Amino acid sequence: MMAHDHGQGGHSHDHTAGANARMLGWALALTSIYLVAEVVGGIVYNSLALLSDAAHMMTDVAALVIALMAIKLGTKPSDDKRTYGYRRFEILAATFNAVLLFAVAIYVFVEAIKRFSQPQDVQSVGMMIVAAIGLLVNIVSMRLLMSGSDKSFNVKGAYLEVWADMIGSVGVILGALAIRVTGWSWVDPIVAVAIGLWVLPRTWILLRDTTNVLLEGVPSGMSLPEIRAAIAKVPGVGGLHDLHIWSMSNDDVSATMHVTLTEQADADAVRAAVASLLHDSYGIEHSTIQTEGPEAECGHRGELHP
C-alpha cells in the first residue's frame, strides 16, 4: 500500500525556469561583450590582474551558457529511459563550473609566481578604465541573477561567479591606483592571487552542495532525525523505517518511507497525514509512503535509521 504526493510544483518549476532563462540571457549578453574587452585590455595593458579577472569572466560565460542549457533540458519531460527527467543535469553543470573555477585559480597562482620573480611593467590607467567598466557590468548582472540565486544551483553558481568578479573588479581598480601612485608593478600579481583566494571558498561551498545532491544526501537545512520524530508523532503511526530524503535539484525534494500502522489505524488517512506534514512543514513536494500492518512492526523494531 503506497501513496504518492506530488504537490503543485510542476507549474511553479516552469515559471521559475522561464524567468531564470530570461535573466540568464541578459546576463550572458553583457558578460560576453565585456569578456572580449577585458581580454584585449589585459593583453594591451600587460595586466595579470585583468587577465585573472577575464579568466573568471570566461567561467561566468561558460556558467551562464551551461545554465541556460540546463534549464532547457530540465524542462524536458521524463521518458522510459530517464524516469526522473533531466533536472539532474543542472547539478552536473554546476559541478562542472566549480571544477572549472578551481582550474582557473591554479593557473592564476602559477602565473603570479612567475611575475613575482620577473616583474613586468603594467599600464595602470588603461587597467583601471577596463576594470571600472567591468564593475558596472558585474553590478547589472548581479541584479539580474539575484532573484533566482536561491531557487537554482545553476543560477546560484552563476551569481557567485559574477559576485566574485565584482570583487575582482574592485581589486583591480585599487591595484591600478596603487601602481599609478607608487609604481610598484608587483601589486598586479598580488591582486590576481587575492581574487583567486577570495573565490575558492565560495567555489568549495558550491562544489560541496552539488556533490551532496549527486550522492543523494539529505538536502541542506533538513534534519533527518527531526523529520523522523515528526512523522512518528502522526496519529496512527506505530513505526517507521527505510526513510530516505533526497533531491534532484535544490528545489525538488523527494521522500520515501515505510510506515507501520497502529491497531485500527486507517491506512489512507495516515498516508494523507504524513504526506501533508512533509509538504507543509518541510516543503517536500514528492513523497512515496508505503504502509504496513501492525504485525510487520516486530520485524522492523529498532530499525530507525535510513
Is residue 25 in some structural domain? yes
Q: If we measure between CA atoms, which residue out of 197, 207, 102, 199 comes closest to residue 153? A: 207
pLDDT, tens only, 210-231:
888 888 888 888 889 999 999 9
Does 112 share its domain with 228?
Answer: no
pLDDT greater than 80 at residue 132: yes
Domain stops at, among 163, 192, 214: 214
Question: How much is the pLDDT for 231?
Answer: 93
Is residue 55 in some structural domain? yes
Q: Across the chain, what does the average pLDDT equal? A: 77
Question: How much is the pLDDT for 274?
Answer: 93
pLDDT greater than 90 at residue 301: no
pTM of the shown model: 0.64
What is the percent of the chain with per-residue pLDDT over 90, rounded to a whole number? 9
Does 140 share its domain with 228?
Answer: no
Does 123 share its domain with 181?
Answer: yes
More confident residue, 89 or 33: 33
Does 204 share its domain with 296?
Answer: no
Does 100 share its domain with 242?
Answer: no
Does 141 share its domain with 262?
Answer: no
Sheet holding 253-261, edge to edge: 2-5, 286-292, 253-261, 237-247
Distance CA 299, CA 276 (A): 27
Contact 16, 305 (CB under 8 A): no
Q: Which residues on neighbouring strands pair with residue 254, listed in sequence order? A: 246, 286
Please report, for the chain, how many H helices and E strands are present, in that order.
9, 4
Distance CA 274, CA 256 (A): 11
Looking up residue 198, the CATH number of its domain turns out to be 1.20.1510.10
pLDDT greater than 60 at residue 39: yes
Question: Concatenated DSSP letters for 98-148?
Answer: HHHHHHHHHHHHHHHHHHHHS-----HHHHHHHHHHHHHHHHHHHHHHHTT
Looking up residue 270, the CATH number of its domain turns out to be 3.30.70.1350
pLDDT, tens only, 179-207:
888 877 778 778 778 877 777 777 788 78
Over residues 126-150, the mean pLDDT reads 78
pLDDT, tens only, 279-297:
988 888 888 899 888 765 4
Does 207 share its domain with 251?
Answer: no
**3-class DSSP assignment, residue 286:** strand
pLDDT greater than 80 at residue 149: no
Question: How much is the pLDDT for 292?
Answer: 86
Is residue 3 in some structural domain? no
Total of domains in the chain: 2
Does 126 share its domain with 241?
Answer: no
User: Which of 43-52, 71-80, 128-137 is the least confident region?
Assistant: 71-80
Question: How much is the pLDDT for 8?
Answer: 43
* Residue 258: domain span: 224-300
Does 91 share its domain with 197?
Answer: yes
Does 78 share its domain with 205?
Answer: yes
pLDDT greater than 60 at residue 253: yes
Beta strands in 114-261 (DSSP E): 237-247, 253-261
Domain stops at, among 146, 180, 214: 214
Distance CA 259, CA 294 (A): 10
Does 155 share its domain with 51?
Answer: yes
Does 79 share its domain with 189?
Answer: yes
Is residue 228 in some structural domain? yes
Is residue 305 in some structural domain? no
